[in-house]
Structure 1
Amino acid sequence: MTTTVMGTPTPDDAVRTRLLSGSVDLDAAVSVWQLANTARGKVPDEKRRTRVRTKLTETGALPLVAVQAGEVVGMALAEPGRDEDGVGAPLPYLCHISMVFVHPDHWGRRIGERLLDTIAEHAARHGHLVLQLWTGQANHRAQRLYRRAGFRPTGRTTYLPTGQPIVHLTRTIAPASR
């Protein structure tokens, strides 16, 4: 059940981002991912759910959750960027964002931006200079989110095995001061 907050926000109403921690967070993150996809008309099958669970727990992954009043309302995953669109050698300057999903009841509340900002802060602390991602060419909601968060299209387009076109976006970040 989702509670709508009215009136003056309290500290418990604030959305916080943090690293995914433990099986409860993992289950909640996968649930947010599934609900967001289903709301967009893309109901994931068990194979996809298993793949997402695996990716969220891989070594080198940066899995994040957005939490409000103890409830996971968003999730994101960043991982080391690799050459050759993910199949080549790691590129130390590059951070790849593979997932950003928000529970549909919380869409439009800038939770995705909060998750992207947390990824950018982490990436800067680890010496990355560029964030990159791919998103569906027809996913206008996601493209608006990424543009608001400072991402720009590179002009590159490729196709998923399903034939769906996806577009490439990047954002340059300043290295964290040491």
Structure 2
Amino acid sequence: MSTVTRLARPGDLTAALEVWRLANAARHKTPGPDRVARVQAKLADPAALVVVAERAGELVGMAAAEPGREEDGARGVVPGLCHISMVFVRPDHWGNRIGELLLDAVREEALRQGHTSLQLWTGEGNDRALRLYERAGFRPTGRTGHLSTGERIVHLTRPL
């Protein structure tokens, strides 16, 4: 059974949010209502690049990206930089390379839009994500940070 990736349509956003919710729940990270509302807004933002993975007519993965910003976020967009803010796959489809397909789709669309590099942040202890990003050509920059939960995160980039 093949998996197809494509740009999300407005009717996909509820299912994309559910993929995000299920993946977080499987990692024992239950988002609160404020976080759910922020993700809904991010997915609906006209500037967002949202791609979905579909298998047998069912949404099984989603990724979202946006124009990259200066490190502090206050100085505006960095020309050519595309920031991947979300890559999520339904837990019952983990291990099927859907994350790679999503990253390929984001990369292709980012290139089409004129971006020259991709960046993302992920949890330092998220071994599954780190392996995915390494296979997709991302490399650590040495920059680190912390989420509001205290979780340590690492910065990765990939030229296009």
- TM-score, L = length of structure 1: 0.87
Q: Distance in 2 between matches of 1:56 and 1:34?
A: 13
Distance of aligned partners of 1:66 and 1:87 in 2 relative to their CA distance in 1, 3 Å threshold: farther
Q: Which residue of 1 aligns with 2:73?
A: 86
* 8 Å CA contact retained: 1:94, 1:129: yes
Q: Which amino acid aligns with 2:25?
A: T
Q: Please say if 1:33 is aligned against 2:20.
A: yes
Q: Which amino acid aligns with 1:88?
A: R
Q: Distance in 2 between matches of 1:161 and 1:43?
A: 15
Give the alignment partner of residue 73 of structure 1, picking from 56, 60, 71. Answer: 60
* Structure with the greater alpha carbon radius of gyration: 1
Q: Please say if 1:170 is aligned against 2:157.
A: yes
Q: Please say if 1:14 is aligned against 2:16.
A: no
Q: Which amino acid aligns with 2:71?
A: E
Q: Please say if 1:104 is aligned against 2:96.
A: no
Q: Which residue of 1 aligns with 2:101?
A: 114
Equivalent pairs, count: 160
- Tell me how far 1:84 sits from its aligned partner: 2.2
Following TM superposition, where does structure 1 have runs of at least 4 consecutive aligned residues deviating by more than 3 angstroms?
A: none
Distance of aligned partners of 1:85 and 1:148 in 2 relative to their CA distance in 1, 3 Å threshold: farther
Q: Which residue of 2 aligns with 1:150?
A: 137
Q: Distance in 2 between matches of 1:64 and 1:147?
A: 20
Percent identity over paired residues: 61
Q: Which residue of 2 aligns with 1:7?
A: none
Q: Which runs of 5+ in 2 are unaligned?
A: none
Q: Distance in 2 between matches of 1:85 and 1:127?
A: 23
SS in 2 for 1:108: coil
Q: Distance in 2 between matches of 1:65 and 1:119?
A: 10
* 8 Å CA contact retained: 1:64, 1:77: yes
SS in 2 for 1:86: coil
SS in 1 for 2:71: helix
